[in-house]
Chains A and B, each alone.
Chain A
Amino acid sequence: MLTKRIIPCLDVDHGRVVKGKKFQDIQDVADPVELGRYYSDQGADELVFYDITASYEDRDIFIHIVEKVAEAIRIPFTIGGGISKVEDFRKVLMAGADKVSVNSSAVKNPQLIREAALRFGAQCVVLSIDAKRNNKGSWDVYVKGGRENTGIDAIEWAKQGQDLGAGEICINSIDTDGVKKGYDLELNQKLSSLLTIPIIASGGAGKMEDFAEVLKVGADAALAASVFHYKEIPIVDLKNYLHNQQIPVRRV
């Protein structure tokens, strides 16, 4: 039976892993290769490495990290941050990444999704969406690290992303991110029922119940950062808990 995935996300700045609470208060945590290997041993199903400096700084350090990670770990991993051209996809895929996540650049140029999917396969194109609730009962797409509202409807954008060839949607709720009060269940439920590609829920994990809830409403995977980085929730314990909740998971 296909299992639900647990995905630690590692924000990387100058080759070091950090975690921003609400995208601020960034604090150095660990070496990406070591932390990646640690999570893999603990039973993480995939990893996401997000280059938070990529939009405006040299990417060579990061490409080197991608190569080192690919040599060290044997689970799939996704690279995000600063990907704006098909050539950027090629670089990180050739460095050993399995998937590439695009966010603001795809909003700016939706054809990037189609071009990358045609060239490298839909399986490696993850459309990451930063969504925030508005006062009309829907969600707006934000870009530039959650600073700018595009006014685009998040659910419509997710559907368009699927039509353009994305293999997966990562939905990050800005309202719940860093607050640790649970994922946005309504948003994840809506997307899961409307889309035919897998959904990764992101933003808001604080306790083990939060993971169970979002996976039960239809998310195929749950992504989190700080609860793992600060060892508040060991992945082994989380997998056992989810298993006891009748949620199919892979346990190591």
Chain B
Amino acid sequence: MASEKITSGGKPIAMLKVLNPFHIWALGVGIVLVGEFMGWNFTVGKGGAYASLIACWVIGLLYTCVAMIDSEVTSTVAAAGGQYTQAKHLIGPLMAFNVGLYLVMAYTMLCAADALVVGDLMKSGAEVMGYANLDTKPFVVLTVAFLAWLNYRGVFATLTLNLVITFLAFLSLIVLFFAVDPLHQGVVLQHQALLTDLPYGWIGVIASLQFGMWYYLGIEGTCQAAEEVRSAGRSIPLGTMGGMMTLLVAATITWFVATGLMPWQYLGQAVTPMYDAATLLGSSQLQLMLFVATAFAAIASANGCINDASRAWFSLARDRYMPVFFGAIHPKYRTPYRSVLFLVPIAVSFAFTGLLDQVITFSILSGLLGYTFMTFNMIKFRKMWPLGSIHRGYIHPFHPIPAITLLTLCCATYFATFLGYGASLLSIMAFYILASIWFVVRRYKYVKRADQFTMPWPRPKGY
């Protein structure tokens, strides 16, 4: 189904259906893989190395639930906007507005963090070559501007680039894993000497769940391309579940290598831990490879984030939840070009604030709020349209266990964020509460009621 959009010229036009499961894999893994190169290690800082491993697997379970739920709902509600469109059809306009904002904020902030990493990496590289104090700002601007240009020109080229560089970045983790001689402890890896007990006890394990999300944050972004895949029922579940498997392997390798090479106190605060790991091995080839791979991972992530944030912003505007000016599609390239361009200066300005931990926490919390929504969404979906009442591209097993598990783990992660980042949590909640009040009082009057339900389904049960 190709839904109709209005271009700037007023001519009805639709986005192109050109993507396959590999592009979906590249979109999901591309956004997330940077998390294996930086950011995941803050779990070590919050609870120690073992806490990080526990967070890796517990949050892996959270994301497996997310992937299962998302695959069913997205393969049924196949439209741009992903979870936003789902909320519109299953919960209501205010929830949809909030979910749209979660997506825009999570991806734009993540894009800003990625651009910062590219800048910092260039500075490190320049230092190795003897150029100290390189200004990172031009690299931040160049990265975002180049990727925005790619996104402006077309989704196929954008995600094909992601497919290539994501695969190369993933490959570098495998090469690093074999380079450390993983079967022989004490030769290169020193887990016996470097792994300590839990430095904060079990409360540290819970606290580490917050940054544990960084191992996988953004995999749910696969849903944003639902309107541009050739077969949503096949491509979305295959690409998303395949992506989760890839990330579980990558996260475990990353933890294993890094904790066997660095003291946890260093690792817990490192900006580019995998590049540091390669540096410790004393091989210039490995160091160069991880330099390039970290840059590729950050670029792939920023690329996917621009793609997803612009689609979410575009969807909000198309439905008049946000100014309708942004709801246009380019007549030639068939991309939401105004949304793409609008988000460029915003991502750059977030990056320029230099508040990396605030930016990351905003991104993580926006994601977490979105996952909490998914639990209500799934329960209502099965209740309002029971199995057999509408066509589903994919049906996830064991319902409602994944939804209940997801809600439980979300609550644990809110508590984890409260431990150490309580003020940020309240501040970000204040943003979403004020934005919700603003939507109810001011924006909702611009929304066409009946247009909020476009699926060819029967009337929902209970309504």
Bound pair: A and B? no
Residues on A facing B (Cβ under 8 Å): none
Residues on B facing A (Cβ under 8 Å): none
